[in-house]
Structure 1
Amino acid sequence: MNSQESLNLSNTGAAAVLIGDPAKFGRVAEDGTVYVITPTGDRAVGSYPGKSPEEALAYFVKKFEMVASEVALLAARIRSGAMVPSDAHEAVNKLRNQIKDLNGVGDLENLSSSLEKIPALISEHEGAYIAKKAAQAAEREARKVEAAAIKEKIVAEAESLVDSVAWKVTTARLKELLEDWKKAPRLDKKVDTALWKRFSSSRNKFDKRRRVHFANLDGEHKSIAVAKELIVKEAESLANSKDWLNTAKRFKSLMDQWKASGRGKKSSDTALWNRFKIAQDSFFTAKNSDMEKRKGSMVENLSKREALVAEFEALLPITDFKPAKKKFNDLMDKYQRIGMTDRKKKSALDSKIKKIEDEINELERNFQRKSDPTAKAQANKVVQGLAEAIENYEKQAVKAEAAGQTAKAMVAREAAAARRVWLEQAQKGLTEFTS
């Protein structure tokens, strides 16, 4: 087998080929000395006291095999492109010295020949080494670009969350992004540091906003709790009230205040609301129970109100507001003394009464206006003023006609005619005033 073939074998196989038959390349003398057989003669390589000739020979064969394995391994590494050429040359020199002084049993000549073929192999595969290194560099660069893209994506998302108000969700997401960052490959220190600063800055900005928000929220919650505590205490004080109408209105107002006070801390809000609800339910349960008892009397009260409304309507038509007003007030006093009545039905009756009341009030206002001496004096003044104006315009017309100023006379007579119409209306209004 030639040297090139030996270089293509595995480590153990290469050694076996180079060693060949141990009996051919080594022997053991009677005194136990082991010799390696070479083309230039036998050379003592050592002894192994206390061992059989076969064991001693095997021991030195093993030494040879180890060096042969290194030669085969070196060739394999060079061929794979895994070894730097300069390192490979250095390894050849070391192995050359080892083989030269090797105390082992095997085909030293073949082993040395195989080693001397390696420099040519180094040159032959130097291009492959360079290509492999270039590929590895490209792969590293690709991984670096990919890692940079991953971290840039993490940083960009973190920056987009800086102004988020979804506090819980965003906090959880930033934690996930931090874990993603830890799992991502490291980059060049400068690039990694710059990206980390951006990422860390975004996390810190959001966290600062979150802490400020919850600090403010805590203050708001305390204020809300104080306000709601006052609402609840008042509700509890009204729970046993028997003033159904006013208390029901007050409970509605308290409910409006509750809604307007805002949302507080959940645990506090829940506890306060439960107290408010208990007080409210207690009042309305008692109110509804009382209303059930009053239903019979409400029917009777409705009949009374309807009878009175008929008396109210009997006042129509009103000719003299004074006796009508007195009668109206007497009826209203009775109407208001009647007990609780169904709200909707009472409202319909109230509307009828209101119309009658409005009519009486309108008649009273007209009476007061017509009996007002100041208004009457003003009306007289208007009548007198118009009469004087008519007289003056008539005089102007006569004077103009005498002077032959027909157009001027016509204007004066038209002005007088217009004021006669106004005077007639003013005199009619004056007659409406009482003496």
Structure 2
Amino acid sequence: MSSDPWGRVDETGTVYVRTADGEQVVGSWQAGSPEEALAYFERKYEGLVVEIGLLEKRVKTTDLSAKDAQVAIDHIREQVDAHHAVGDLVALRVRLDKLVETVETRREERKQQRAKQSDEARGAKEALVVEAEELAQSDQWRSAGERLRALVDTWKGLPRLDRKSDDELWHRFSHARSAFSKRRKAHFASLDAQREDARKAKEKLVAEAEGLSASTDWGPTAARYRELMTDWKSAGRAQREHEDDLWNRFRGAQDVFFAARSSVFAERDAEQTENLKLKEELAAEAEKLLPITDLKAARAAFRSINERWEAIGHVPRDSRPKVEGRIHTVERALQESEDTEWRRTNPEARARAEGLTGQLQAAVDKLGGQIETARAQGNNARADKLQKELDGRQALLDQALKAVQEFGG
């Protein structure tokens, strides 16, 4: 007979394993010595130890499903319970029981993780739906369209929810995209119609412009061209393939007319240059009236200068603003002197100015008190608003006071 701490072989070749419930028959061994029998069943035990160890590692380090892990555990447990190995079978059962606990823990963790991922996916999809519904109302057709396409890609990368929730959210998401597409289609259809209307309107303008290009009625025709340009700008843009061609024809017709007019006007340049010289002399004569000390004499002198000015005729267009600006400066000075004299001698205007000053001063005083009250109550927003109103009233008061001073001057 041969034995070790966990098993023995009797004289008949029967192999036993020792357990907490007593000895259990492992099997019968007739092929060799008792030592070989124990060694064989001990190797079977070691095989179970290795198999459990590998399963423990898979459970801890891989994504082995709880279902598959439990099937593997049950398979090993059947071998342990069959007592076909010699060794500490109780220890193997303990390890298997712990492994079951580990699998259940992992099962619960994965369940919670899936629930968390589902909640996160739900939140993400709800956010996508909300953004899509906001974009559905946008008029930024290009950027909103690109963003909606990006949202679709993001949606595809998210996990699916339960069918009911996923279908409901997708319905809202899809509806928002459809609503945007419908609005965009309607917008561009309307835009196409507007551009077609613009094309027809501009074709009429081009036809008229081309008909006027040979006109020698310089003034009225130039004025009509200006009106046509205004109509052109207000007509809107035609389709891209028509706009440039229509513009080139429209502008070309004007160029023909204005080139012809320029040729005729060139003959007048010499006369206008002489006119400019004469008007510059009159402007210098008028500037000598400044500053105005004798309003009556200055007015008479300027009237004489103005009569001679009107008799001279046109000057070159590019010189007109400067020389006319000089004479207008003297004219404004005369007007200001006349206005000052009138205000100085107008009792009714003085009374109105004084009355306005009193009203404005009362309003300024009232606002100042309201601001102090608001500040004391801690209502700075109201105080700031009242301060802006006070600043405006104060500016009006300063102007009114200046007017009263002028009356008293």
How does 1:309-324 map onto structure 2 within 5 Å? none
> What's the counterpart of residue 188 of structure 2?
214
CA contact (8 A) 2:38 2:86 kept: no
Deviation of residue 260 (structure 1)? 1.7
- The CA deviation string for residues 346-370 of structure 1, in whole angstroms up to 9 with x for no partner, is xx9xxxxxxxxxxxxxxxxxxxxxx
Alpha carbons of structure 1 residues 215 and 43: separation in structure 2 relative to 1, 3 Å: same
Alpha carbons of structure 1 residues 169 and 37: separation in structure 2 relative to 1, 3 Å: farther
Alignment-mate amino acid for residue 72 of structure 1: G
SS at match of 1:163: coil
Matching residue within 51, 56, 69 for 1:70: 51
Alpha carbons of structure 1 residues 173 and 76: separation in structure 2 relative to 1, 3 Å: closer
Matching residue within 118, 131, 140 for 1:157: 131
2:165 paired with 1:188: no
Alignment-mate amino acid for residue 143 of structure 2: V
The separation in 2 between residues aligned to 1:172 and 1:44, in whole angstroms, is 72
Matching residue within 201, 216, 219 for 1:242: 216
> What's the counterpart of residue 90 of structure 1?
74
The separation in 1 between residues aligned to 2:248 and 2:34, in whole angstroms, is 106
Give the fraction of aligned pairs with identical amino acids, expressed as a percent. Answer: 32
**Unaligned regions of 5+ residues in structure 1, if any?**
4-34, 46-60, 101-107, 304-337, 349-435
Alignment-mate amino acid for residue 295 of structure 1: D
Deviation of residue 149 (structure 1)? 1.6
> What's the counterpart of residue 144 of structure 2?
170
Deviation of residue 195 (structure 1)? 0.9
Alpha carbons of structure 1 residues 67 and 272: separation in structure 2 relative to 1, 3 Å: farther
Deviation of residue 126 (structure 1)? 4.0
CA contact (8 A) 1:298 1:341 kept: yes
Q: What is the TM-score with the length of structure 1 in the denominator?
A: 0.49
- The CA deviation string for residues 98-142 of structure 1, in whole angstroms up to 9 with x for no partner, is 994xxxxxxx534xx45x533222323444333332222222222
The separation in 2 between residues aligned to 1:154 and 1:227, in whole angstroms, is 45
CA contact (8 A) 1:163 1:206 kept: yes
Deviation of residue 83 (structure 1)? 4.5
CA contact (8 A) 2:210 2:250 kept: yes
2:124 paired with 1:147: no
Deviation of residue 185 (structure 1)? 2.1
SS at match of 1:109: coil
Matching residue within 283, 294, 304 for 2:268: 294
The separation in 1 between residues aligned to 2:83 and 2:170, in whole angstroms, is 55
> What's the counterpart of residue 328 of structure 1?
none
Report the structure number with the largest CA radius of gyration: 1
Alignment-mate amino acid for residue 142 of structure 2: K
Alpha carbons of structure 1 residues 291 and 64: separation in structure 2 relative to 1, 3 Å: farther
Deviation of residue 249 (structure 1)? 0.7
Alpha carbons of structure 1 residues 36 and 254: separation in structure 2 relative to 1, 3 Å: farther
- The CA deviation string for residues 189-247 of structure 1, in whole angstroms up to 9 with x for no partner, is 22111111111000001101111121222222111101111111211222232222111
Alpha carbons of structure 1 residues 75 and 179: separation in structure 2 relative to 1, 3 Å: closer
- The CA deviation string for residues 317-336 of structure 1, in whole angstroms up to 9 with x for no partner, is xxxxxxxxxxxxxxxxxxxx
CA contact (8 A) 2:48 2:76 kept: no
Alignment-mate amino acid for residue 148 of structure 2: L
Alignment-mate amino acid for residue 91 of structure 1: H
Q: What is the TM-score with the length of structure 2 in the denominator?
A: 0.52
Deviation of residue 248 (structure 1)? 0.7
The separation in 2 between residues aligned to 1:196 and 1:185, in whole angstroms, is 13
Alignment-mate amino acid for residue 198 of structure 1: R
CA contact (8 A) 2:199 2:237 kept: no
CA contact (8 A) 1:36 1:42 kept: no
2:213 paired with 1:229: no
Deviation of residue 65 (structure 1)? 8.8
Deviation of residue 42 (structure 1)? 8.8
The separation in 1 between residues aligned to 2:244 and 2:32, in whole angstroms, is 98
The separation in 1 between residues aligned to 2:34 and 2:268, in whole angstroms, is 134
> What's the counterpart of residue 109 of structure 1?
86
Alpha carbons of structure 1 residues 96 and 342: separation in structure 2 relative to 1, 3 Å: same
CA contact (8 A) 2:52 2:96 kept: no
**Unaligned regions of 5+ residues in structure 2, if any?**
7-30, 278-310, 325-409
Alignment-mate amino acid for residue 153 of structure 1: A
Count of residues in Structure 1 that have an aligned counterpart in Structure 2: 254
The separation in 2 between residues aligned to 1:192 and 1:156, in whole angstroms, is 15
The separation in 1 between residues aligned to 2:97 and 2:52, in whole angstroms, is 16
Deviation of residue 86 (structure 1)? 4.9
